[in-house]
Structure 1
Amino acid sequence: MKNIFKFWKKYSFVLLIAFITLSLFDLRFALAAVICMAAPVFSAVFKGRFWCGNLCPRGNFYDNVVAKFSRKKKVPEFLKSYLFRVLVLVLMMTVFILGIKQNWGDLYGIGLVFYRMIVITTIIGIVMSFVYNHRTWCHFCPMGTISSLVSKSRKNKHVLNVSADCVSCKICERQCSLGIIPYEYKGELLNHADCIQCGKCAVVCPKNAIGYKST
C-alpha cells in the first residue's frame, strides 16, 4: 500500500495530462473533473487538506514537473489572504454555475465548462509558479479554500504532529511551499488550516520530530 501511495504521488499527474488530451476528443471525459472538485472537500472533513498535498493530480504535476522550473520565491501575503481567496472562489463559482445552467442537459456543453475551468486554472498555476513558487495556485484554489474552511472548523486530529523533540532549526520552514512554519506547532498537532499534509517537513526534520503521531 505504501508503494502504491508513493507511485501515485510521483506519477498521478499523468491523469491530468490524460484528462486534457482525452477531453479534446470527447468533452464528456471532462466531466471527471467533478471528482477533483468534491474529493478535497470531502477529505478535509477527516484529514484536512491531505488531498491537496498527496492525491490531487494537478498538485502532483506542480510538485514533480513544474517545481523543476519554479523560482521558489515566497508568495505575497495578499494572495494567501482569505479576502482574495474568497473573491476568487465567488468569481469562479459564479462563472462555473452560470456555465452549467446555460448548458444544462447538454453533456458536451457541461464538459466544455469543466474543461475550460481546469485548463485555464492549470495555466494560471504554471505562470504563477514562474513568478513565485510551484504551489502558488494552491493558496487560492477555490476547492482548496473551501477545504481550508472545512479544516478550520473541524480542527482535525488526523494530521501531522510536531513533537517536543523539535529544536526549531527552521529547516522545515524552508521546505514548506505553503509558507507554514511547522516548528511553531512544537508539542502540538500541525493543524494549520492550509497545511496540505505533503510531509516534506517531516522528511527533512533532523530530529524526526514531525510525523503522524498522537500528542
Structure 2
Amino acid sequence: MEKFLKLWKRYSFTLLITFIVLGMIDLRFGFVAVICMIAPIIVSIFKGRFWCGNLCPRGNFYDNVVSKFGNKRIPPKLFKSYYFRSVMLGIMMVIFISGVYKNWGNLYGIGMVFYRMIVVTTIIGIILSLVYNHRAWCNFCPMGSLASIIGKLKGSKRVLHVSSSCISCKLCEKKCPLGLVPYNHKGDILSHPDCIQCGKCVIECPKKAIGYNKITIK
C-alpha cells in the first residue's frame, strides 16, 4: 500500500493534465471533477485532510511540478482564517450553482461549469505560488476547507506526535507547505485540522522526533 501511495503521489498529477486535455475535446469530461469534490469530504470523516496531502491530483501537481518554480514564502494568516475561507466557499458555491442552474438539461453546459471551475482555480493556485509557496491555494481551497471543518468537528483523525527528543531546529516549520509549527508541540501531539499529512516534516526531522499516530481527540 505504501509503495502504491508513493507512486500515486509522484505521478497522479498526470490525471489533472489528462482531465484538462480531454475537457478541451469534450466538455462532458468535466463531470469527472465530481470525484474531487466528494472524495475529500468522505476521506475527511476518517483521516482529516489526508486527501489533500496525498491523493489529490492537483495537490500532487503543485508538489511535483509547481514547487520547482514557485516561491517559498508562507501564505498570510488571512488565507487560513475560517471567515475568509467561508466567504471564498460561498462565492464559489454561488458561481457553481448558478452555472449548473443556467445550463440545466445541457450536459455540455454543466460539464463546462465543472471544467472551468477546475481550470480557473488551478491557474489561481499557480499564480499564488509565484508570490507565496506552491500550496498557497490549499490554504483556502473550498473542498479542503470543508474537509478541515469536518475533521475538526469529528475529532478522530491521524495526528502528528512530536517526541521530547525534538531540538526545535524549526526545519519542520520551514518544510510545512501550510505553515504549521510542529516543534511547538514538543512532547505532545499536533492535531491541527489543516494538517494535510504530506509527511514533509516527518522526512525532514533530523532527530526522527516526528511521527504519525492514530489518536482520538476528545
TM-score by length of 2: 0.94
Aligned 1:81-92 pairs, distance under 5 A: 81-92=81-92
Which string of whole-angstrom CA distances, capped at 9 and with x for unpartnered residues, describes residues 86-128 of structure 1? 1110000111011112222222111000011000000000000
| Cα pair 1:157 1:189 within 8 Å, conserved | no
Aligned residues: 215
**Aligned equivalent of 1:129:** 129
Q: Distance in 1 between matches of 2:4 and 2:101?
A: 39
More strand by share: 2
Q: Does 1:184 align with 2:184?
A: yes
Could you tell me how far 1:161 is from its partner in structure 2? Answer: 2.2
Structure 1 CA distance, aligned partners of 2:206 and 2:57? 29
Question: Which 5+ residue runs of structure 2 have no aligned equivalent?
Answer: none
CA contact 2:151–2:157 (8 Å) conserved in 1:
no
User: Could you tell me how far 1:166 is from its partner in structure 2?
Assistant: 2.2
Alpha-carbon spacing, 1:80–1:157, altered in 2? closer, same or farther (3 Å):
closer
Structure 1 unaligned regions, length at least 5: none
State the distance in 2 between where 1:103 and 1:188 align: 51
Q: CA RMSD in A?
A: 1.3
What percentage of aligned pairs have identical amino acids? Answer: 61
Please tell me whether the aligned partners of residues 159 and 212 of structure 1 are also in contact (alpha carbons under 8 angstroms): yes
Matched, 1:174 2:174: yes
Alignment of 1:27-106 (within 5 A): 27-106=27-106
1:70 match: secondary structure? coil
Could you say if the C-alpha distance between residues 212 and 79 of structure 1 is closer, same or farther in structure 2, counting changes exceeding 3 Å? Answer: closer
Cα separation, 1, equivalents of 2:37 and 2:204: 31
Q: Check the 8 A contact 2:159/2:214 in 1, yes or no.
A: no
Q: Whole-Å Cα distance in 2 between the matches of residues 177 and 82 of structure 1?
A: 18
Give the Cα separation in 2 of the matches to 1:77 and 1:54: 23
Q: Is the 8 A contact 1:49 1:195 kept in 2?
A: yes
